[in-house]
Structure formats: C-alpha cells, structure tokens
Amino acid sequence: MARRKMVAGNWKMNGARDANAMLLHDIVFDAKRYTAVDMVVCPPALYLESVGAALTGSSVQLGAQNLCEQEKPGAFTGEIHGGMLKDVGCAYVIVGHSERRALYGESDEVVAQKFQTALACGLKPILCLGETLEERESEQTEIVLGRQLAAVLARVGANGFKSAVIAYEPVWAIGTGRTASAEQAQAAHAFIRGELANADAKIADSTRILYGGSVKADNAQALFSCRDVDGGLIGGASLKATEFLAICAAAQ
Ligand code: PEP
C-alpha cells in the first residue's frame, strides 16, 4: 500500500510569540507546494492555540508534544488532558518521546496509557520508539523496540494503530547530529512493521513509520527513500523554516 508521507516538527521547549509567528508565516506560505505530504507542527502547549490560529486556512496540522495519561480531567495539577488538546485544535499528540521516557520517568505502561487516552480523546498518537546507544551496541535494539511496541499493543490492540503514527527515534541520534544510516533506519522500520504485522498485517501495511534523529535537509532524501520510512519527526531542524521546508520538499 502507498502510504502518504508525513513530516512533523517537534519544537520541544522552544519558541516565543514573535519567533513562532515568523516561523509559521514562512511555513504556511510554502506549505501549498507539498501536496503529497502531511505537515504537522508540535509547539509547546502554551502556544498551541496561537499556533493553531496562525495555521487557519493552511493544510499544516497541529500536534501537541505530550498529554496526561488520565482518562478524565480533574485534580492533576500542572497536567493537560487530551480533551483540552482536542478542544484547542490538535489533531496529533506525540507520546513516549525519549526525553519524556528518560527525563520524566515515563514507563512503557504510562506511554501505553497516554496512547489509549489520546485515542479516547479523538487525537492521533505519534508513538516514539527507540533504543539507546548502549542498547544498540549490546544488540538489544529489536528487544527494546519490540518491548516498547508490545506495551501499547497489549493495551489498545492492533486496531488502536488505525489512526496512529509510529516514530522510530534512536536515542543516540536525537539532537546529536549523528543520524542513523538509511540502512539502519530501514532495518529498524522493517522490524517495527513486522512486529505490528504479527498483530494485524493490513494495519501494519497502512501505518506510517517516521524516522526521527538529526534529520536535516541534506540527509532527508536518503532516509525518506527507504521502503519503510514514511517521513520524519524533526526536532532541531523544525525551528528553521528553510530547513523544515527543505525536509518537506524531500518528502514530496
Ligand atoms: C526529536 O526530538 O524528536 C528529534 C528527532 O530531534 P532532532 O531532530 O533534533 O534530533
């Protein structure tokens, strides 16, 4: 099955009202060229509403970087419910980013709960999976990816992936300037698709698997031309309009 390419920008904890407006001005202006690509921007939660307003009338969609795992809103100080993300116009939400797993102690189980809550709120989860350098060097990559995916599958089943997107993000490539080679990315993506296919071959075939980890304009083409790489989740390079748009052009 031909899967539509997707390029999502994860702004992480970056941005300010003026800088966001300038960045979005350029992205929105150029977005009409990339008709074959689903473009998404994921700003910090505080800016979701203003970024959503700046995207009005464009094909660029809005995503959040995180949500609370709780099914219902209530007494969870500092947290944001998925329903609120939906309410301000989010279509997507990133779950299980390695920074959340490593710095904020999110376990596979919490990530699975977040995924389930996202679905219940009508959001499309972008599920991040990835191994550390130590895990890769000790040949644990497939064990780690399989375990992270299995935790979500155990909670939502293969049907939970009908609207979801997966992002393979090797931890050693995130923000390091060290990108996985096209061969390494393809091997990991094929493994992830195979694991999903064990649960449901049709859903596995239609699920987009993005690559994330130091994607730049000059390496995007090689990565996106791999059979099982359906676009990218972009961190640092999504903060520069020219760079982000060049990555979208590579996906087109
Ligand atoms: C990310 O944080 O999801 C990411 C891929 O970051 P970078 O592109 O900066 O490596």
pLDDT tens column, 159-168: 999 999 999 9
To test the pocket of ligand 1, the residue of 215, 218, 223, 240 to mutate (highest count of ligand atoms within 8 Å of its CB) is: 215
189 tagged catalytic: no
In this prediction, residues 170-191 reach a mean pLDDT of 96
In a domain, 45, yes or no: yes
Tens of pLDDT, residue by residue over 17-67, are: 999 999 999 999 999 999 999 999 999 999 999 999 999 999 999 999 999
In a domain, 73, yes or no: no
Q: Known binding site: residues?
A: 10-12, 175, 214, 235-236
User: CB of 240 within 8 A of CB of 221?
Assistant: no
Q: Which atom of ligand 1 is nearest to the CA of 214?
A: 10
Give the pLDDT band (50/70/90) at residue 229: very high
Q: Ligand 1 centre from 174 Cα, in Å?
A: 5
Catalytic-role residue among 131, 135, 169, 243: 169
In a domain, 234, yes or no: yes
Model pLDDT, residue 1? 72
Catalytic-role residue among 69, 81, 97, 243: 97
> In angstroms, rounded to a whole number, what is the distance separating the alpha carbons of residues 226 and 231?
10
Instruction: State the average pLDDT for the chain.
Output: 97
Tens of pLDDT, residue by residue over 102-150, are: 999 999 999 999 999 999 999 999 999 999 999 999 999 999 999 999 9
Q: For the chain, how many structural domains are there in total? A: 1
DSSP the chain: -PPPEEEEEE--S---HHHHHHHHHHHHHHHTT-TTEEEEEE--GGGHHHHHHHTTTSSPEEEES---S-SS-SS-TT---HHHHHHTT--EEEES-HHHHHHS---HHHHHHHHHHHHHTT-EEEEEE---HHHHHTT-HHHHHHHHHHHHHHHHTGGGGSS-EEEE--GGGTTTS-PPPHHHHHHHHHHHHHHHHHH-HHHHHH-EEEEESS--HHHHHHHHTSTT--EEEESGGGGSHHHHHHHHHHH-
In this prediction, residues 192-200 reach a mean pLDDT of 98
- φ/ψ of 84, rounded to 5, equals -70, -40
Is the pLDDT reported for residue 205 higher than 80?
Answer: yes
In this prediction, residues 64-71 reach a mean pLDDT of 98
List all residues whose CB is within 6 A of at least one atom of ligand 1: 10, 169, 174-175, 212-215, 233-237
User: CB of 109 within 8 A of CB of 150?
Assistant: no
Model pLDDT, residue 12? 98
Is the pLDDT reported for residue 216 higher than 90?
Answer: yes
CATH number at residue 220: 3.20.20.70
Q: Ligand 1 centre from 59 Cα, in Å?
A: 23
In a domain, 202, yes or no: yes
Model pLDDT, residue 84? 98
Tens of pLDDT, residue by residue over 241-250, are: 999 999 999 9
The residue whose CA is least distant from atom 4 of ligand 1 is 235
In a domain, 113, yes or no: yes
Task: Please give the residue range of the domain that contains residue 27.
Answer: 5-67+78-251
Model pLDDT, residue 186? 98
> In angstroms, rounded to a whole number, what is the distance separating the alpha carbons of residues 75 and 24?
34
To test the pocket of ligand 1, the residue of 6, 12, 240 to mutate (highest count of ligand atoms within 8 Å of its CB) is: 12
97 tagged catalytic: yes
In a domain, 37, yes or no: yes
To test the pocket of ligand 1, the residue of 233, 239, 243, 247 to mutate (highest count of ligand atoms within 8 Å of its CB) is: 233
